[in-house]
Structures are given as structure tokens and as C-alpha cells.
Amino acid sequence: MFTLLPFNEFDQDRANAFFTAFCQWSIAKHILKTHGDISQSGRYCHEFTMTVTAERDHPFHPAMTDDAEDVLTEAFRDLARWLYARLCAEYEYLTSDEAVDEAIVANDYTFTEAGERFG
């Protein structure tokens, strides 16, 4: 049987980041009548492979400023950097001796002297 580890700080950060990004995009889309697309190019996936396009298509709102796409691109790149930093921190924790020890104890794993699973 597998025991889930408790809800940790990473989960809270991930939920907060998602909620913040969703709220910001919803505000831009619904209130400012802005819509756009975020796409990825190339073999790798990181902040500098994302392309953000945005446009405002509403008769009662003025056209977007010249730097609006640049501002949105930088905002989403900031979010990507923040998410990547959280993922790195969580990976470091999950692969640490402390986390492995906790998982072994939580799941009642036992091992032989040679390191083989026992029981």
C-alpha cells in the first residue's frame, strides 16, 4: 500500500501560482477583452522558447499599446521561471536523503543487509 505524503509548501505554491495566473489572464481576457496565445517552439521547453501573442478585439476599448505583447511575454516568462524554481526545489527535496527516509518509514519498507527489498 502506498501512503501519500502530506500536503507541502510546494503544493501550496503551485496552487497559488496557478490561481494568480488564471486570475490575471481572466481579467485580461474578460474585462479588457484581450485574447491571445502562448506557444512553444523548438525541442526544449523553457522560458525563452515561449511566444506570446495578444490582441484586443473590442469596439469600445482602445487598441493595445505597442509594448503590450512584450509586457505579457515577460509576465509569463516570470511565471515560467518561478514555476521552474519551485519544480527544482521540489525535485531536490524529493530526491534528498530525508525524503527517501520518510518514504521508507511511511510505507513500512524493509531491506536486507545487501539492500534488497524484504517483506
Give the start-to-end residue ranges of the domains of the chain.
11-99
At residue 27 the predicted structure's pLDDT band, cuts being 50, 70 and 90, is low
The CA-based diameter of the chain, rounded to the nearest angstrom, is: 74
Query: CB–CB of 32/63 below 8 Å?
Result: no
Other Cβ atoms within 10 Å of 79 Cβ, number: 17
Is residue 90 over pLDDT 70? Answer: yes
Is residue 114 over pLDDT 80? Answer: yes
Query: CB–CB of 54/68 below 8 Å?
Result: yes
pLDDT greater at residue 84 or residue 28:
84
Is residue 11 over pLDDT 80? Answer: no
At residue 96 the predicted structure's pLDDT band, cuts being 50, 70 and 90, is very high
Q: Where are the alpha helices (DSSP H) in the chain?
A: 9-26, 68-94, 97-106
